[in-house]
C-alpha cells in the first residue's frame, strides 16, 4: 500500500547530500523505467505551535538531485510505503522529485 502525504503544512530541509541507493554494492534502478535511484535525507518539520520534526530518507529515480545541505526543498508526490520483513517493520518514503523551494 502506498500512502500519499499532504506536504502543505510541512517544511523540508536537506540534511544529507543525495547518495546512490545501493544493494549488495550495486546501485538500484527503477523496475519500470530503469532510471537510477537516489536517497536524500530530509528534515520534515510540521508547521505550527506544536510542530514536530523527523528525519526521513526519500528515494527518487532519475538524475541525481542537485541539492545542498540545509537547502529548503519540496518533495513532489511524496508517498509513504509501510513495510514488514523478518519481524522488522518501518516506513519507506518515495517522491517523484525533490525540488528546491522557491524564494519568496
* Percent of the chain residues topping a pLDDT of 70: 100
Q: Domains for the chain: give ranges and CATH numbers.
A: 3-100 (2.40.50.140)
Grid cell of 90 as nine digits: 518501518
Q: Which tens digit of pLDDT belongs to each residue from 56-83? A: 999 999 999 999 999 999 999 999 999 9
Q: Which tens digit of pLDDT belongs to each residue from 21-51? A: 999 999 999 999 999 999 999 999 998 778 7
pLDDT, averaged across the chain: 93
* CA distances for 51 relative to 10, 45, 48, 56, 61, angstroms: 9, 7, 5, 16, 30
Task: Say if residue 1's pLDDT is above 80.
Answer: no
Amino acid at each position: 500500500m502506498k500512502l500519499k502525504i499532504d506536504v502543505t503544512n510541512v517544511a523540508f530541509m536537506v540534511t544529507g547530500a543525495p547518495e546512490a541507493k545501493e544493494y549488495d554494492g550495486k546501485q538500484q534502478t527503477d523496475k519500470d523505467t530503469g532510471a537510477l535511484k537516489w536517497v536524500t535525507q530530509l528534515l520534515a518539520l510540521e508547521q505550527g505551535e506544536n510542530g514536530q520534526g523527523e528525519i526521513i530518507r526519500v528515494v527518487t529515480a532519475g538524475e541525481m538531485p542537485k541539492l545542498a545541505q540545509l537547502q529548503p526543498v519540496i518533495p513532489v508526490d511524496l508517498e509513504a510505503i509501510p513495510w514488514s520483513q523478518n519481524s522488522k517493520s518501518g516506513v519507506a518514503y518515495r517522491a517523484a522529485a525533490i525540488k528546491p523551494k522557491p524564494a519568496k
